[in-house]
Structure 1
Amino acid sequence: MSRGKRILQYGVLPWVAALIVWQLAAWASEPDFLPGPYLTLQGAIELSKDGSLFTYILYSFYRVFTGWLIGSLIAIPVGLAMGRIRFVRALAEPILNFVRFIPALAFVTLFMLWFGIGEQSKIILVMYGTIFTVIINTMTGVLAVEEDKIRSARSMGATERQIMRHVIVPATIPYIFTGVRLAMSTSYMAILGAEMMAANEGVGFLIWNARLYFKTDWIFVGVIALGLMGFATDRLLGFVGRKLLYRYGIVFTGSLTRKA
């Protein structure tokens, strides 16, 4: 019974079921149209022999992490200011609510024109995909702080800077953490489009280039690589949050839970 509970706890059965369904669907189809798990594994081994698969993964990870980190560092203070200062919120919120509905992929061509086809345009595209999610979650966290806490701090002589540092920011950290986690997923979507359009390396380039040779197994390798990269970075972010931010109510369970 304990072994069965462990299997259920670690989510092994859904993965086994997914592999079985995938293999059955592959048997019912043509290998060039839907390669099974074994053919996909062979494609991964083929791409790994010269190290190209790992090179593509490292390029994509570097672009995602750099754009996500810079975008988050910009968005967090902007979100705090918008949540705390009514004038800033009234000024910026209409523009924010307009631009955030334009997906990052819509700017791929423009960013290539403005910033070139090098790393800069790709990182800025990831930043664009990150900033709005983090701003909105941060601003929501500031607005959710109970007014009684602010009044209590002010009655004890706390300045606005002290209120921000000791009341607003600690209460907002769970929202910020959720925002940066959500932004990580949008970062992968942004880089995929950028690498498909203008790159000679990266997982997006692998997927886009594989279609020219009708290498469906390589496409599946790229898709699975993206999923594994996202899963790994999310778990790593959750581990860091659990170790460093547990005092603020961060409990990482694999879901987007803000508080315990």
Structure 2
Amino acid sequence: MTETVQVAPIKTPVRPGLSPTLNRIGLTALSILCGVLFWNILSRYSSPLFMPSPAATLEAAKELMEDGTLVRAVLASSARIASGWALGVVVGIPLGIIMGRFVPIRQFLDPYIEFFRFIPPIAFVTLAVIWLGPGESAKVALIFYTTVFIVTLNTIAGVQAVNPLRLRAAASLGAGPLQMLTTVILPSTVPFMVTGARIAMGNSFLTVVSAEIVSADSGLGALIWTARNFARTEWVFVGILALGMLGYVFDRLLRIAVGLLLRRYHPTT
């Protein structure tokens, strides 16, 4: 009779370590700290007019917070960006799907898309004020102009990237044009739509600053321009930092929304 020898499994020692989330937070905090330290070193060897220190910038931010200037500027810019960007996405996605799906429509509209997308929004600031007035409509229209071409082009690329074999398979199973659109084309195009929306949001911040500098008495662009008139460089830094943080928040909220609502389409966020 043969005896069965049981070998005890070798236990691999578990090395204690931080979770990926804590690692990411730690590296982010370290990166920010290094940036602030480098900024502080530069400010020590520069004029306050050229490079205000982090402490001076923080004091300026407190000053602008106390009188409500910074809060009003952030809210004004946020409302303009959100409105113009949302309108651009709402128009750009259907337009991109139609142009990507129907060749004659794409060929008809392509000259206008290719012409206007190379003209920067700042070139239309004067016309926007003449046509729509100096109020909010002009600024929202400029952000819409920035957004719609980017979203449209990315959506067209997504529609054209759909695997033709999938379309033939859906057709062979009896899917009509509407079913093919909702079950094959739209799911495959979602990652392109999300990418276009994120890129357009970044460009919207550039546009809103330009529009507010030229024609606005509120907003972060107007705050930066006012700081220039009063030679308050620390206010300029406050406006720049506020724009960066606001952009980070907007992009993070968009990524969270995409992750919750469109997770099954595997968008890249």
- Determine which of 70, 92, 96 is the counterpart of 1:79: 96
Say which SS state the counterpart of residue 250 (structure 2) adopts.
Answer: helix
Rg comparison, structure with higher value: 2
CA contact (8 A) 2:195 2:268 kept: no
Kindly provide the amino acid, as one letter, of the partner of residue 162 in structure 1. Answer: Q
Q: Deviation per CA, 1:142-171, whole angstroms, max 9, x where unpaired?
A: 000000111111111111111111110111
Q: Shift in Å at residue 27 of structure 1?
A: 0.5
What's the RMSD between the two structures over aligned residues?
1.4
Q: Shift in Å at residue 94 of structure 1?
A: 2.5
In structure 2, the CA distance between the partners of 1:7 and 1:25, relative to structure 1 (3 Å rule), is farther
| Structure 2 runs not aligned, ≥5 long | 1-15
Moved more, 77-86 or 30-39: 30-39
- Determine which of 48, 51, 55 is the counterpart of 2:72: 55
Partners of 1:238 and 1:38 lie apart in 2 by 32
Q: Shift in Å at residue 40 of structure 1?
A: 0.4
Partners of 2:20 and 2:57 lie apart in 1 by 30
| TM, length-normalised to structure 1 | 0.94
Q: Deviation per CA, 1:87-141, whole angstroms, max 9, x where unpaired?
A: 0111112221221111111111111111110000000000001001100110000
| TM, length-normalised to structure 2 | 0.90
CA contact (8 A) 2:191 2:268 kept: no
Say which SS state the counterpart of residue 114 (structure 2) adopts.
Answer: helix
Aligned to 1:239: 256
CA contact (8 A) 1:72 1:134 kept: yes
Aligned to 1:258: none
* Paired residues for 1:101-112 under 5 Å: 101-112=118-129
CA contact (8 A) 1:7 1:13 kept: no
Say which SS state the counterpart of residue 50 (structure 2) adopts.
Answer: coil
Partners of 2:105 and 2:236 lie apart in 1 by 45
CA contact (8 A) 1:43 1:217 kept: yes
In structure 2, the CA distance between the partners of 1:243 and 1:5, relative to structure 1 (3 Å rule), is closer
Partners of 2:170 and 2:109 lie apart in 1 by 28
Answering whether residue 152 of structure 2 is matched by residue 157 of structure 1, we say: no
Aligned to 1:181: 198
* Paired residues for 1:20-169 under 5 Å: 20-169=37-186
CA contact (8 A) 1:112 1:121 kept: yes
Partners of 2:179 and 2:201 lie apart in 1 by 31
Aligned to 2:13: none
Moved more, 216-225 or 95-104: 95-104
* Paired residues for 1:1-20 under 5 Å: 2-3=17-18, 8-10=23-25, 11-20=28-37
Partners of 1:194 and 1:128 lie apart in 2 by 12
Q: Shift in Å at residue 251 of structure 1?
A: 4.7
In structure 2, the CA distance between the partners of 1:134 and 1:86, relative to structure 1 (3 Å rule), is same
| Structure 1 runs not aligned, ≥5 long | 253-260
Could you list the runs of 4 or more consecutive aligned residues of structure 1 that deviate by over 3 angstroms after TM superposition?
Answer: 1-8
Aligned to 1:191: 208
Q: Shift in Å at residue 6 of structure 1?
A: 5.9
Q: Deviation per CA, 1:165-206, whole angstroms, max 9, x where unpaired?
A: 111011101110111111101111111001001111100000
- Percent identity for Structure 1 against Structure 2: 39
Partners of 1:236 and 1:169 lie apart in 2 by 22
Partners of 1:151 and 1:225 lie apart in 2 by 50
Aligned to 1:207: 224
Moved more, 224-233 or 5-14: 5-14
